[in-house]
Chains A and B, each alone.
Chain A
Amino acid sequence: GENVEQHPSTLSVQEGDSAVIKCTYSDSASNYFPWYKQELGKGPQLIIDIRSNVGEKKDQRIAVTLNKTAKHFSLHITETQPEDSAVYFCAAFRSSGNTPLVFGKGTRLSVIA
């Protein structure tokens, strides 16, 4: 089955700097890769996703890149703000299977003002 590795487990950046979180997956049939942000006391919220037919996607300060050959994808947050502080989870999904997302272990991002 699919296995998703996520690094780093914790990340501290100064406000205004960029943050990068990386994930690798094992199942070459996975074709959908979402990122979730989980704030304290809340459920995970989808912030951006990418499909296997696209190499990069951007939404304001957030971008995701996908390298299918290497089976890794990354989340990039630019101009970080204190409200970006949260736990971020990457996940992988295979549309052809009736299985839910497989999650990474999460990255706790702290943005220091």
Chain B
Amino acid sequence: SAVISQKPSRDICQRGTSLTIQCQVDSQVTMMFWYRQQPGQSLTLIATANQGSEATYESGFVIDKFPISRPNLTFSTLTVSNMSPEDSSIYLCSVLDTATDTQYFGPGTRLTVL
């Protein structure tokens, strides 16, 4: 199984600022995903981040608001830009093991925007 770490684990930010979340995996993976989980809700996919190509965003999410980098097969970042209180959520990094179809999740980054 893949072991995923995220930094920071939590943060409190002022509106209008930006936060970059880092995701590190202990093995090389092709497909990485970023999810948002609002309080008491299920997981909503923000984008798919594959190394060597631009991220693919889901409906309702745009690159200007959530720019993503994927410089190699073990690392990705998600930036939440120009934050507002509505961006307060848990942000989760996830990877797909294509050999088993198993998707693993990081511990999440709990973001509070004041």
Give residues in A with beta carbon < 8 Å to B.
32, 34, 36, 41-46, 49, 89, 91, 93, 95, 98-101, 103-106
Point out the residue from A41, A42, A43, A46 that lies within 8 Å of B102, measured CB to CB. Answer: A46
Q: How many chain B residues touch the partner (CB < 8 A)?
A: 21
Asked if B67 is at the interface of the complex by the 8 Å CB criterion, the answer is: no
24 contacts between A and B (CB under 8 A): A32-B101, A34-B102, A34-B103, A41-B108, A41-B110, A43-B4, A43-B108, A44-B43, A44-B105, A45-B105, A46-B1, A46-B104, A89-B43, A91-B103, A93-B103, A95-B101, A98-B48, A100-B33, A100-B103, A101-B103, A103-B42, A103-B43, A104-B42, A105-B42
Q: 15 other contacts beyond A43-B4, A89-B42, with CB at 8 A cut-off?
A: A32-B101, A41-B110, A42-B107, A43-B92, A44-B92, A44-B105, A45-B105, A46-B1, A46-B102, A49-B102, A89-B43, A95-B101, A100-B33, A101-B103, A105-B41
